Structure 1
Amino acid sequence: MRYGFAIDTKRCIGCHTCAVACRYENNLPKEVWWNRIMTEGGEYMDIPVGEFPNTRLSYLPVACQHCENPACVKVCPVGATYKDPETGIVRQDYEKCIGCRMCMAACPYTGVRSFNWEEPAYYTGVAFGAADIPVHEKHVVEKCTMCWHRQAKGDQPACIDVCPERARHWGDLDDPESEVSRLIASREYKQLLPEEGTKPSVYYLV
């Protein structure tokens, strides 16, 4: 199997529901976002490109691309960043991570990883999200896990379940009958920085 996403940019309304669900499900520390919704073309968030009345506004959810040929895995000196052989999900082993941030330097997709410089701090004193997620640690690199803890139980990533416009789709890219494969086969799409040769597992339907 090789899990991936198909994101329909024509349906995405920039509501950030997927990003918030990711924060909640994974109990992310303050100021940490594994999934960000970028405004494509505009100078600032929610600002269209062009001049009225000829304006255009579209959104681009950006997170770890879970590449088929991940640059981050190649440079990690201790094997803390690795590609799961059964699912294709690019994962982080917090116990092995030495905080060198080589994976952050090698990744061509700016901002999809975060580094905990200090002990993770939270907005509340109560832990949220799934009980089986790893504990966030100091001096560790973090990123989207594709909710592997949910996938292991047969569930979809949290961001898929909550999208109100059904813009996000997830499944096995190696299965031609999966919803995500059928969407990619029937629609035009783009990928981020294909020239880098990383072969992202995220397809943006256009």
Structure 2
Amino acid sequence: MPNQQVEERKKRYAMVVDVAKCSGCDACTIACKVENNVPDGVFRTWVKEIEVGTFPDVKRAKLPRLCNHCEEAPCEKVCPVEATWRTEDGTILIDYDRCIGCKYCITACPYEARYVNSLTKTVDKCTFCYHRVEEGLEPACVATCVSGARIFGDLNDPDSLVHQLVATKNTQVLKPEMGTKPQVYYIDADGTLMNSDYTALKKGEK
């Protein structure tokens, strides 16, 4: 019987955030800034907080934020020099040598996840710490999360925790009506927080 070649399954990296476990400690934010040399005043990841409920039943709801590495990424489509590109595993990256800083991608991103890096003068954002992932490590924010609120892995691997969580838990994505197919999923996130204003995003603007 002739040998049959089995097509290798392609990876598709994704992140699941269990918002109930997020304590708002900002360890993820700090770890990200240190790992990726993120300048002051901008963030690759941050924790959005708002007050929800009616007095006296009021609580602080928290929502970790980052680039959603969308399957239908508008930032990739509008880049005039193709500096924004997608890896085979679906991660959205930026070729800093090609980026001209035109900011089209910043405007196109419905999640306001991009910024201009004052050090490099190019656009920047979360990369899922791709340099770490290629070495078999977790993104810095995931490795640092003391409560285990962030889970990262291959969504196409049925044995991975991210696959199992998305398949079995009540997960949501941000702005599904935009048709971007985000690869960041939230478990049982507060509806008010998921649907709240996206303009006050960065730390200090909670």
TM range (shorter): 0.7 to 0.9
**SS of aligned partner of 1:10:** helix
Query: What's the offset of the Cα at 1:197?
Result: 0.6
Query: What's the offset of the Cα at 1:92?
Result: 0.5
Which residue identity does 1:197 align to in structure 2?
G
Query: What's the offset of the Cα at 1:174?
Result: 1.0
Q: 1:180 aligns with which of 123, 138, 162?
A: 162
Which residue identity does 1:75 align to in structure 2?
V
Corresponding residue number in structure 1 for 2:185: 203
- Distance in 1, matches of 2:44 and 2:101, equals 18
Q: How does 1:134-149 map to 2 (within 5 A)?
A: 137-138=120-121, 140-149=122-131
Q: How does 1:101-140 map to 2 (within 5 A)?
A: 101-110=103-112, 112-116=113-117, 118=118, 120=119, 137-138=120-121, 140=122
Q: How does 1:153-172 map to 2 (within 5 A)?
A: 153-172=135-154
Query: What's the offset of the Cα at 1:188?
Result: 0.3
Corresponding residue number in structure 2 for 1:30: 40
1:89 matched to 2:86? The reply is no
Give structure 1 stretches of 5+ with no counterpart: 43-47, 121-136
- Distance in 1, matches of 2:37 and 2:123, equals 15
**SS of aligned partner of 2:20:** coil
Which residue identity does 2:123 align to in structure 1?
V
Q: Deviations over 1:1-29 (max 9, x none)?
A: 11010000111111111111000101111
Which residue identity does 2:96 align to in structure 1?
Y
Corresponding residue number in structure 2 for 1:99: 101
- Distance in 1, matches of 2:63 and 2:54, equals 21
Give structure 2 stretches of 5+ with no counterpart: 1-10, 189-206
Query: What's the offset of the Cα at 1:53?
Result: 2.3
- Distance in 2, matches of 1:32 and 1:9, equals 23
1:14 matched to 2:17? The reply is no
1:51 matched to 2:42? The reply is no
Which residue identity does 1:156 align to in structure 2?
E
Runs of 4+ in 1 over 4 A off after TM superposition: none
> What is the aligned residue count?
178
Query: What's the offset of the Cα at 1:50?
Result: 2.6
